[in-house]
Amino acid sequence: MRYVAQTIVLAAAVALSACTTLEPVKASPEEVQRMLVYDELVKPGERVRLVTADEVVHEFRVTEVDREQGFIVGEHQRVPISTIVAVDTREVSVGRTSLLAGGVGIGVAALVAIALAPAIILGGG
């Protein structure tokens, strides 16, 4: 039964990571910069991929959005909003989540059946 619990925990960890994807924000560089300053396009705690005008890609978890100074801040990075030309934000993928949840459910049911089968067969019912 311990293996069933470990499998469930492992499946849940995989499910959480597989249910999200980085999706590009479809906007011009000027619109992206405006959304970063005036909207809440990115928030602390989110994972983002930022592309700057010099084509450098920065991928990190946001720790702060400093709108006054004009920076998106990560643990070891500080990217000026004025240089950002593209943003990819992490989005939940409903299709992936549904497929994964169904697959995990079927897998857990199979493991439980396999674990209980010897007891049922040997116990006579």
Note the pLDDT tens digit of each residue in 3-48.
656 666 665 555 555 566 778 889 999 999 999 999 889 999 999 9
Q: Which residues contact 45 (CB under 8 A, 6 or more apart)?
A: 61, 62
User: The domain that contains 76 carries what CATH number?
Assistant: 2.30.30
**Segment 114-118 long-range contacts (CB within 8 Å, at least 24 positions apart):** 115/1, 115/3, 115/4
Looking at the fold, whether 99 and 76 belong to one and the same domain comes out as no
**Same domain (yes/no): 49, 86:** yes
Does 71 lie in the same domain as 36? Answer: yes
d(CA 43, CA 36): 10
- Do residues 26 and 81 both lie within one domain? yes
The verdict on 29 and 87 lying in the same domain is yes
Domain count, the chain: 2
What residue numbers bound the domain in which 35 lies? Answer: 21-91
- 13 and 25, same domain (yes or no): no
Q: Which of 8-12, 33-37, 95-99, 104-108 has the lowest mean pLDDT?
A: 95-99
- Residue 62 CA to residue 74 CA, distance in Å, equals 5
Tell me which DSSP letter residue 70 carries. Answer: T
Quick check: 4 and 108 in contact, CB under 8 A?
Answer: yes
